[in-house]
């Protein structure tokens, strides 16, 4: 906490020095939206280069003066929380003055900017994000406040903890971890008692694009148990994008890649090549939109695809067919095909990339 307080004090000192010299204060940070500031490392994923281009938030420019003021406001709130060892969610910060902030997304962006500017992970700033992910299966742990969570003997999923850093006493007999893209598929596997039938496993869903806590939990479980991690995604560009976020990270959070990525994650399904192999009826597939086309082209150009020749092939199959499929397409074969046939066969015979 002293490191956080000192980092904030240095920023404020810089503001005072500028004012003393009759200059307009400026906040400077790495430009985290620029691919030129990103390098790809096999062992980490996407990470920010040491000497990257910066952007400035000026106090004397009409376009950025308000953002400058909001950053100082949130910095002062973080400073007080770290001093008093209290925590707040991003929603708490937004609702402390909705008129001033204008929208939740403004608060979210500013907090990420502050984390990047101070070079301090967001959870060390005492700001918690609201969790939307779920975890189920062969896992138990103790939350920071002492609450014991046992996912093993529960028919319902537990919410991913809002302070992943604080969980301890993690125990599991799981043989693998399965990251499921969508809540509906996750719930279906839960109803089918999948994590007990095949072999003990841990299931996680970020319910679409994963929030920070879900990504932190996947990383923490990997560090704790070192078991294989598989992903179950829709066979579409959006599903591939989500899988890449878990595996390699995102451009906007590349400054925190070391805590968030698990480059050993494997693509289990739904593979574009599975659609032909399983004779899925063409009528059950969905034609590409222009948005799908653009997303796929952007993924194909990314640095990590070059070192994944098998992934590259699957993306080429998708591009050639101009068709996509949701995991639910497997129900056209039989209602429990996913949990009874597809996943057990894939896991037994090594059908992952």
Longest pairwise C-alpha distance within the chain: 74
Helices 237-248 + 290-300 axis angle, to 10 = 30
Question: CA-CA distance, 92 to 127, in Å (whole number)?
Answer: 9
Strand partners, 325: 235
95 is catalytic: yes
Q: Give CA angle at 212 (210, 216), nearest 5°.
A: 100
Q: Using CA of residue 12, residue 16, residue 17, residue 22, what is the dihedral sign?
A: positive
Question: What is the β-pairing status of strands 201-205 and 176-180?
Answer: parallel
Alpha-carbon span 88 to 159, nearest angstrom: 18
Paired sense of beta strands 127-128 and 88-89, if any: parallel
Checking 146-155 for CB contacts under 8 A at 24+ apart, the result is 151/202, 155/190
DSSP H or E segment with residue 310: helix 309-321
Lay out the sheet containing 168-171: strands in order across: 148-150, 140-142, 168-171
What's the residue count for the chain? 353
Report the sign of the C-alpha dihedral through residues 28, 32, 34, 37, in that order: positive
Given 87, 95, 304, 337, the catalytic residue: 95
Active site residues: 95
């Amino acid at each position: 906490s002293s490191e956080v307080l000192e980092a904030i004090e240095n920023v404020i000192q810089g503001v005072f020095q500028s004012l003393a010299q009759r200059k307009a204060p400026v906040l400077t940070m790495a430009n985290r939206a620029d691919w030129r500031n990103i390098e790809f490392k096999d062992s980490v994923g996407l990470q920010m280069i040491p000497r990257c281009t910066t952007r400035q938030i000026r106090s004397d420019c009409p376009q950025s003066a308000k953002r400058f003021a909001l950053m100082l406001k949130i910095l002062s709130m973080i400073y007080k929380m770290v001093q008093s060892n209290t925590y707040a969610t991003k929603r708490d910060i937004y609702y402390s003055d909705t008129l001033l902030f204008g929208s939740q997304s403004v608060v979210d962006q500013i907090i990420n900017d502050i984390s990047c500017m101070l070079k301090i992970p967001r959870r060390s700033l005492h700001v918690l994000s609201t969790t939307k992910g779920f975890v189920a299966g062969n896992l138990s742990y103790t939350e920071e406040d002492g609450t014991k969570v046992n996912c093993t003997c529960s028919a319902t999923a537990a919410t991913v903890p809002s302070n992943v850093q604080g969980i301890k006493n993690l125990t599991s007999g799981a043989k693998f971890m399965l990251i499921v893209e969508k809540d509906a598929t996750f719930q279906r596997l839960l109803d089918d008692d999948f994590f007990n039938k095949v072999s003990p496993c841990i299931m996680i869903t970020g319910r679409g694009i994963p929030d920070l806590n879900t990504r932190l939990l996947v990383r923490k479980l990997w560090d704790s148990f070192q078991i294989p991690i598989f992903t179950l995604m829709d066979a579409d560009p959006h599903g591939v994008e989500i899988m890449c976020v878990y595996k390699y990270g995102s451009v906007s959070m590349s400054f925190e890649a070391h805590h968030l990525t698990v480059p050993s994650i494997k693509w289990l399904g739904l593979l574009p090549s599975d659609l032909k192999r399983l004779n899925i009826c063409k009528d059950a597939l969905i034609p590409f939109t222009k948005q799908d086309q653009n997303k796929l082209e952007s993924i194909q150009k990314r640095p990590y695809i070059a070192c994944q020749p098998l992934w590259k092939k699957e993306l080429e199959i998708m591009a050639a067919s101009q068709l996509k499929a949701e995991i639910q397409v497997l129900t056209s074969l039989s209602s429990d095909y996913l949990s009874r046939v597809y996943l057990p066969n894939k896991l037994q015979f090594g059908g992952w990339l």
